[in-house]
C-alpha cells in the first residue's frame, strides 16, 4: 500500500513540475494566446499579416485595403494582441471617417497623409461612442487603428512618420 501511494505521489509531482512552466507562461502573459491566434487566423484568411514602422518599432497589422475590409474594420473581434493594429489603405487622400460599429474594445485612431506623415490622432475611443463618426480635420490616405493607449506608448504625435513598407 505504501508503495502505491508513493508511486502516485511521484506521478502527481511529475505532472505538476512538467505543467508549471506552461501554466506560469499563460497565467502571467500580457497577451492572451487564444486571442492572438484567433486574430492571426482572421488576418491570414485575407492575406499575410503586414507591418508598419512607427519610431523604429515594427507593428504587425491586419491590412484593410478593400472596401469590404474597410467597412468591417475591427468589428466583431473581441480584441487584438497588444502590439497589433489595423492599417486602412484608401484609394486617394480624402476626409477619411471611422466609426466604432461592432468594435468591442477601445482604440486609438491615427490618420496618415500620402507622405507618411501623421496628420491627426484620436485617443482612447470607446465602443460606446457608436454611431459617432470620427474624421480628421485634414485629408488622409491611410488610417492606423491600435489598441487604446498604444499611440502614447509608441510616442506617436501629429507630424511624426509612419513607414509602411508592408513587408
CATH of the domain at 138: 2.60.120.1140
The verdict on 64 and 92 lying in the same domain is yes
The verdict on 97 and 142 lying in the same domain is yes
The verdict on 60 and 1 lying in the same domain is no
The verdict on 13 and 52 lying in the same domain is no
pLDDT digits (tens, 9 = 90+) for 124-138: 999 999 999 999 999
The verdict on 13 and 81 lying in the same domain is no
Neighbours of 157 (CB within 10 A): 12
pLDDT digits (tens, 9 = 90+) for 58-67: 999 999 999 9
The verdict on 141 and 89 lying in the same domain is yes
CA 84/CA 148 separation, integer angstroms: 11
pTM over 0.85: no
The verdict on 132 and 89 lying in the same domain is yes
Task: Print the domain residue range for 20.
Answer: 1-30
CA 94/CA 46 separation, integer angstroms: 25
Q: Name the pairing type of β-strands 162-163 and 97-99.
A: unpaired
In the sheet that holds 107-112, the strands lie side by side as 118-125, 107-112, 140-147, 85-94, 57-64, 50-54, 162-163
User: Could you tell me the pLDDT band of residue 162, with boundaries at 50, 70 and 90?
Assistant: very high
The verdict on 38 and 6 lying in the same domain is no
Mean per-residue pLDDT for 83-99?
95
The verdict on 25 and 39 lying in the same domain is no
Dihedral sign from CA coordinates of 156, 89, 75, 33: negative
CA-nearest of 137, 135, 129 to 106 is 129
The verdict on 106 and 56 lying in the same domain is yes
The verdict on 82 and 120 lying in the same domain is yes
User: Could you tell me the pLDDT band of residue 86, with boundaries at 50, 70 and 90?
Assistant: very high
Number of domains comprising the chain = 2
Number of H helices, E strands in the chain: 4, 9
Amino acid at each position: 500500500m505504501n508503495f502505491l501511494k508513493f508511486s502516485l505521489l511521484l506521478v502527481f509531482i511529475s505532472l505538476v513540475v512538467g505543467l508549471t512552466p506552461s501554466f506560469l507562461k499563460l497565467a502571467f502573459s500580457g497577451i492572451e494566446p487564444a486571442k492572438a491566434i484567433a486574430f492571426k487566423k482572421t488576418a491570414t484568411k485575407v492575406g499575410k499579416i503586414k507591418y508598419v514602422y512607427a519610431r523604429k518599432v515594427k507593428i504587425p497589422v491586419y491590412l484593410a485595403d478593400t472596401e469590404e475590409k474597410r467597412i468591417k474594420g475591427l468589428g466583431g473581434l473581441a480584441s487584438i494582441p497588444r502590439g497589433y493594429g489595423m492599417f486602412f489603405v484608401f484609394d486617394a487622400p480624402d476626409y477619411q471617417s471611422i466609426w466604432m460599429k461592432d468594435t468591442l474594445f477601445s482604440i486609438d485612431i491615427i490618420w496618415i497623409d500620402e507622405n507618411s506623415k501623421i496628420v491627426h490622432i484620436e485617443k482612447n475611443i470607446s465602443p460606446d461612442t457608436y454611431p459617432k463618426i470620427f474624421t480628421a480635420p485634414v485629408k488622409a490616405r491611410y488610417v492606423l487603428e491600435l489598441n487604446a493607449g498604444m499611440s502614447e506608448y509608441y510616442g506617436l504625435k501629429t507630424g511624426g512618420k509612419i513607414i509602411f513598407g508592408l513587408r
